[in-house]
Structure 1
Amino acid sequence: MKETLEIIALFLGFGSWILNFVSLQDQYWKESTQDGSVIITSTVYENLWMSCASDSTGIYNCRDFPSLLALPGYIQASRALMIAAIVLGTFGLVAALAGMQCSKIGGENYVVKGRIAAIGGAFFLLQGLCTLIAVSWYAANITQQFFDQLYAGTKYEIGEGLYIGWASATLAICGGSCLMCACRFETPSEKVPYPYQPASRGYVLSTVETSQAAPSNYGRNAYV
């Protein structure tokens, strides 16, 4: 049961790590809304790195954001959190592989391997929290501008990149929770390392054997 939870946690963590990459590279973090528009000639969509525009013929053009410091604060924070999530997920995968009982990495000291696996679970949880904060903060700004009647700029809707980010955060949190639970889960058949004790070269006779084997100095009629 413990090994099964560790394997499930590893697959969940790896899946969240891949989805984190996909979300970060996806161009549709927000897309210009079509609400209230009768004739739609172009569509504008953005992510953390660039802004793109496409027309009705399918031709699109993208440009990178010219300056990092000129960007809004929530975009800069989302960039930092998503990159931190990828780094934390990498550490979590390495720690999970080293701490699994079915792996040969790190020897057979299962106490130390359990602690390493718990550290991997903590990394997965931090990865999920960073991703969740980044995509939720970005989505909160989209919805705030969308429902603001006084906002005169282009209004956007939530894109598919944010949904992929939420899926990545969910998998990471579930994987970290499973790994933490696996470290605390105990079974009667749990492997416990024993210290090496060399066999004794001498042989000690018991008192019963000694009394039976010792020669007697008294004759048969000594107590008569």
Structure 2
Amino acid sequence: MKEITEVIALFLGFVGWILIFISLQDQYWKESTTEGSVITTSTIYENLWMSCASDSTGIYNCRDFPSLFALPGYIQASRALMIAAIVFGTFGLAATLTGMKCSKIGGENYILKGRIAAIGGVFFLLQGLSTMIAISWYAANITQEFFDQFYPGTKYEIGEGLYIGWSSATLAICGGSCLLCACKFKSPDEKIPYRYQQSSRGHALSTVQTSQTVPSNYGRNAYV
């Protein structure tokens, strides 16, 4: 049961790690809304790295953000958190592969391997939390601007890249939780056997019996 749980946790963490790259490559983190517009001539969509615009004929043009310090604070924080999630996921995969019981890496010291696997689970949890915070923070700013009646700029809606990021965070958190739960399981052969110790009472009885069977050198007449 423990081996199956570890394999499932590794699979969930790996898929969540791959989805981070897919989410970062997706250009549709937010897309300009058509709410209140009768005729839409162009669509603007952005992610953490670039802004793109497409017209009704299908021609689109993209440009990278010119300056890091000119970006809003939440975009800078989301970039840092997503990069941190990739790093946490890399360490989590390495630790899980080393600490899995069915893996030959690291020898057969299962106590040490279990601790390494638990560390991998913690890294997966950190990966999922970092991704979840970055995606949710980005989405919160989109919704705040959308429902602000006095916001003068272009209003956006949540794009598909954010949904991919949420899926990545959920899978990573589930994988880390499964891995930590697997480290608490104990198979019957891992239990410490109880060492039977002979009771001191039995030893005393045997001593008494031995003393009673020792023949006496004196007869009954010696005590008369």
TM-score between the two structures when normalised by the length of structure 2 = 0.84
Is it true that 1:20 corresponds to 2:13 in the alignment?
Answer: no
String of CA shifts for 1:58-113, please: whole Å, max 9, x gaps. Answer: 00000000000000000000000000000000000000000000000000000000
String of CA shifts for 1:111-138, please: whole Å, max 9, x gaps. Answer: 0000000000000000000000000000
CA drift at 1:190: 3.6
Q: 1:110·1:191 contact (CA, 8 Å) conserved in 2?
A: no
Identity of aligned residues (%): 83
Aligned AA for 2:117?
Answer: A
State the partner residue of 1:48: 48
Once the two structures are overlaid, the 10-residue window that deviates more, 182-191 or 112-121, is 182-191
Is it true that 1:66 corresponds to 2:66 in the alignment?
Answer: yes
CA drift at 1:191: 8.2
Measured in 1, the distance between the counterparts of 2:10 and 2:191 equals 20
Is it true that 1:39 corresponds to 2:39 in the alignment?
Answer: yes
CA drift at 1:25: 1.1
State the partner residue of 2:166: 166
State the partner residue of 1:100: 100
Structural mapping, 1:181-220, within 5 Å: 181-190=181-190
State the partner residue of 2:195: none
String of CA shifts for 1:149-196, please: whole Å, max 9, x gaps. Answer: 00010000000000000000000000000000000011213488xxxx
Measured in 2, the distance between the counterparts of 1:189 and 1:64 equals 58
Q: Secondary structure at the match of 1:67?
A: coil
State the partner residue of 2:82: 82
Structure 1 residue runs of 4+, over 3 Å off?
189-192
Number of aligned positions between the proteins: 192
Q: Secondary structure at the match of 1:45?
A: strand
TM-score between the two structures when normalised by the length of structure 1 = 0.84
String of CA shifts for 1:186-222, please: whole Å, max 9, x gaps. Answer: 1213488xxxxxxxxxxxxxxxxxxxxxxxxxxxxxx
Measured in 1, the distance between the counterparts of 2:186 and 2:171 equals 24
Measured in 1, the distance between the counterparts of 2:140 and 2:22 equals 21
Q: 1:23·1:165 contact (CA, 8 Å) conserved in 2?
A: yes
Q: 1:74·1:137 contact (CA, 8 Å) conserved in 2?
A: yes
Gaps of 5+ in 1: 193-224
Q: 1:52·1:61 contact (CA, 8 Å) conserved in 2?
A: yes
State the partner residue of 2:222: none
State the partner residue of 1:208: none
State the partner residue of 1:142: 142
Gaps of 5+ in 2: 193-224
Structure showing the higher helix proportion among its residues: 2
Aligned AA for 1:133?
Answer: I
